[in-house]
Amino acid sequence: MARVSTYLNFEGNAEEAFDFYRRVFGTEYIGEIQRMGEVPFDAGGPSLSEEERQMVMHVELPILDGHVIMATDMLESLGHELRIGNNTTINLEPDTLEETRRLYDALSEGSTEGAPLTEMFWGATWGTCLDRFGVRWMFNFNPVTA
């Protein structure tokens, strides 16, 4: 089933923020907090410090009326830089790959930055774009959950 959620980026304090949001909304995480140390990096790729390995790769929390917020920590060692324009993202999870591609193509028209739709290690087709109005969109089609 399709869903829309909000994705937030943090500078190393995603877990602290989401512990706070969990208390505020009185809800529990969807699944476990995934850590950066669980990400399969390519051989010869970056190596993370122990502190970075404990940072949040992905977390999900329902807030109101079925809306879910998600988050990750940005890693300075990988060149990530938190700034207005990349701190909040609208995450789209369409029902089909065709709809994912259609939305990506339409919203990417005039885009100034992003990542093309790509098969990812978690089994989804994923990509992002910053549309011509400065809104960041993320696309995440997972055939297992669609």
Query: What pLDDT, on a 0 to 100 scale, did the predictor assign at position 40?
Result: 80
Other beta carbons within 10 Å of 29: 13
Other beta carbons within 10 Å of 41: 12
Which CATH number does the domain housing residue 65 bear?
A: 3.10.180.10
Whether residue 122 lies inside any domain: the answer is yes
Query: What pLDDT, on a 0 to 100 scale, did the predictor assign at position 21?
Result: 94
Query: What pLDDT, on a 0 to 100 scale, did the predictor assign at position 39?
Result: 82
If residue 22 lies in a helix (H) or strand (E), which one and from where to where? helix 14-25
Structure tokens at 82: 């938190």
Rounded distance between C-alpha atoms, residue 96 and residue 28, angstroms = 28
- Divide the 146 residues of the chain into consecutive groups of 10 and give the mean pLDDT of each group: 90 93 94 92 76 95 92 88 82 93 93 92 94 86 86
Whether residue 52 lies inside any domain: the answer is yes
Whether residue 4 lies inside any domain: the answer is no
Rounded distance between C-alpha atoms, residue 6 and residue 4, angstroms = 7
Which CATH number does the domain housing residue 123 bear?
A: 3.30.720.110
- Residue 142's DSSP bridge partners are none
Q: Give pTM, 2 decimals.
A: 0.75
90 with 70, same domain?
Answer: no
67 with 88, same domain?
Answer: no
Whether residue 2 lies inside any domain: the answer is no
Question: Which residue segment(s) compose the domain that 128 sits in?
Answer: 83-146
Whether residue 102 lies inside any domain: the answer is yes
Domain stops at, among 25, 44, 75: 75
